Structures are given as C-alpha cells and as structure tokens.
Amino acid sequence: MKIKGKIWKFGDDVDTDLIIPARYLNVSDARELAQNCFTDLRPDFVTEVSEGDIIVAGRNFGCGSSREHAPLALKTAGIGLIIAESFARIFYRNSFNIGLPLIESKEAAESFSEGDEAAVDLATGRIEQIGNGKFFTAKPIPAFMEELINSGGLVDYTKKTKLKNG
C-alpha cells in the first residue's frame, strides 16, 4: 500500500484533546468528529486538509485519553497516514483498529516541514521526501496490521474473516 500526500507538521506530545476536544466526545458521527479535528489548535485544518495528506509529528503523538474518537476524526478528515518519532501505545492500537496507518521514523519526523510532500510505501517502510531526493526507512507495518488497514479496520476485518471462514 502506497500513500502520497502533503505534510502537516506537529511537535511532541500532541494529545487526544488537541486532536478532538473533549466537548465533542458525545458525537458519534465520524463526519461531525472530523469537522472538529484540531479545532482549538489549528482551526483551518479541516478546511485545508486533502484526502491522503500525511501528519508528521515528534514524540508521543496521541497521548492522553484512550478514546478512539481521535484517530477516527483524523481518518475521516482525510489523513492517510501519520509518521511520528513515537506514538502513545493506545492511540497506536486504536488507529489500526479503525484502519489508519501509522509508522515511526525519527529521521523523517525531524526532516519534514509543513507543506512538504511525501510518498510512503507501507509494505517496505520506505519514505520519500518528494522534491529533494531524501529517503528514510521505517519499520514496515506488520502483515496483520496491513490486513486491518486494507479491510478498513478491525470490525470490517472480523466481518470479512467470519464470512470467509463460515
């Protein structure tokens, strides 16, 4: 699976309350959640993000609460991938559960700037910084996690597997 998009740059310790503020947690519609993504930190984010864009961040992206709302809001807003130096573990698992791919690369996180473009091959972990010829290598997404992404998340994967296995 390959993803190409514009970079949205964030720093360290971006918590789930910054991604989707707690006042929106009573919302269950993914599109409505997406409309409030980063509303307090970057109010223009949802009007400027395009399908397939990539977030690049520092350490501990997705820290804070264990809510699944945060990765769901990002995916529904159009984010195709998040590259960070590291992720909060529950955010990492919640993201794959809803089909949002994540990869860790300190070098890429340090090199990219807001507005750059990247092309990423999830199967190999190869990250290309388009325009300057730089390449980075991240650990490829494990095969099972890639199946989750390709299925649209854990629920859809389980449904497909159950139907396939009877």
Query: Using one digit for the tens of pLDDT, what is the confidence trace for 35-85?
Result: 999 999 999 999 999 999 999 999 999 999 878 899 999 999 999 999 999
d(CA 50, CA 80) in angstroms, rounded, equals: 9
CATH architecture of 2-165: Alpha-Beta Barrel (3.20)
Residues in Cβ contact with 48 at an 8 Å cutoff, skipping those fewer than 6 apart:
none
Delimit the domains of the chain by residue range: 2-165
- What is the distance, to the nearest Å, from the Cα of residue 24 to the centroid of all Cα atoms in its chain? 19
Query: Using one digit for the tens of pLDDT, what is the confidence trace for 25-47?
Result: 888 899 999 999 999 999 999 99
pTM, two decimals, is: 0.93
Nearest to 32 by CA among 86, 88, 66, 77: 77
